[in-house]
Amino acid sequence: MIRLIDVYKEYDNGTKALKGVNIRIDDGEFVFLVGPSGSGKSTVIKLITAEIAPTEGRVMVNGFNLTNISPRQVPKMRRTLGVIFQNFRLIEKKTVYENLSFAMRAIGASNRELRRRIPYVLQLVGLDQKGDRYPGQLSGGEQQRVAIARALVNNPSMIIADEPTGNLDPQRSLEIMMLLERINELGTTVLVVTHEKNLVNRFTKRVVAIENGRIISDETGGYYNVEKI
């Protein structure tokens, strides 16, 4: 569960990124966060992943109050999240399997747990035959699937995808979005940050629109409204 309550964020250079944002995302939801560049989408993601702290207001993520979270608690909070990036952020010199095991080792998983979990997750994203490939040997869509698998491998309760289809063609983008929808159906909360109108409009999901640091619409079963943004 995510709650942003009257959140303001002003960066050191004086940029006011968020101006009183309120968002509530419940467990099991699938939410699109949409808006143009510079609207504050990335700031919301950074607040949720505890990369930055709000200037004012409260941020709650999966039971952790991030407003005054201690440094020791941050890793525990992050283990409840799986983050997917636009540029995949895979380690090129590691195979698909090693990229996933790397993420599992980071939280102290045993070899046994690795052997049990990774094949299951690779199968879930449709890459069960490509565990020994290097990222450079995969297409963009496949690389993003690896990134999704890595986000899922530690069994988080929430997936946060920051422009996950930004580097993909429309067909691959649709496949990735359908995969995220399937993951959501399996019980994981999904928050997708995007500015791809066509893609958003193909799914009848909750759409939260942000512009100039303010939430301008929040509609369940909504669309990316061109007129508003």
Partner 1 sequence: MSRRFDAGYYISEGFHSIFTHGFMSFAAVCMIVACLVIMGSFTLLAVNLDNMLGDLENENEMVVYIDDSLTEEQARALQPVLAKIPNVSQLSFVTAQRAMEEFKAKRENNALLADLPDETLRDRYHVHVVDIERMAETKAALEQVEGVGVGNVRAAIEIADGFVLVRNIATGVAMVLVGMLLIISLFIIANTIKLATFYRREEIAIMKMCGATDGFIEWPFVVEGMLLGLTGALIAFFVQWGLYQAVAKFAIQGNGISLVTILSYQSMASTILAVFCGVGAFIGVGGSLFAIRKFLQV
- Please state, in angstroms and rounded to a whole number, the distance separating the CA atoms of residues 176 and 169: 11
C-alpha to C-alpha distance for 90 and 84, rounded to whole angstroms: 10
Q: Does 49 bind partner 1 (CB under 8 A)?
A: yes
Whole-number minimum distance, CB 59 to partner 1, in Å?
17
User: Nearest distance from residue 121's CB to partner 1, in Å?
Assistant: 13
Q: Is there binding between residue 154 and partner 1 (CB under 8 A)?
A: yes
Cβ at position 200, least distance to partner 1 in Å? 25
Closest CA to 144 of 176, 119, 174: 176
Q: In the set 6, 27, 51, 132, which binds partner 1 (CB under 8 A)?
A: 51
> DSSP letter string over 98-160?
HHHHHHHHTTT--HHHHHHHHHHHHHHTT-TT-TT--GGGS-HHHHHHHHHHHHHHT--SEEE
Q: Which residues contact 226 (CB under 8 A, 6 or more apart)?
A: 197
With CB under 8 A as the contact rule, which of the stretches 74-82, 135-143, 178-186, 220-228 interacts with partner 1? 74-82
Query: Closer CB to partner 1, residue 60 or residue 109?
Result: 109
Task: Give the C-alpha distances (Å, rounded to integers) separating 169 from 139, 187, 198.
Answer: 11, 27, 12
Q: Does 136 participate in binding partner 1 (rule CB under 8 A)?
A: no
Distance CA(90)–CA(67), nearest Å, equals 30
Strand pairing class (158-162; 81-84): parallel
Could you say whether residue 91 binds partner 1 (CB under 8 A)? yes
Which segment (18-26, 34-42, 76-84, 219-227) binds partner 1 by CB under 8 A?
76-84
Minimum CB distance to partner 1, residue 94 (Å)? 9
Of 108 and 187, which CB lies nearer to partner 1 in the complex structure?
108
CA nearest to 47, candidates 28, 21, 13: 21
**Under rule CB under 8 A, which residues in 16-35 are in contact with partner 1?**
none
- Contact call for residues 81 and 103 (beta carbons, < 8 A): no
Between residues 22 and 110, which has the closer beta carbon with respect to partner 1? Answer: 110
Contact track, partner 1, 101-130, x by CB under 8 A: -xxxxxxxxx--x-----------------
Q: What x-and-dash track marks residues 160-189 binding partner 1 by CB under 8 A? A: ------------------------------
Interacting residue ranges for partner 1, rule: CB under 8 A: 49, 51, 71-72, 75-79, 81, 83, 89, 91, 102-110, 113, 150, 154-155
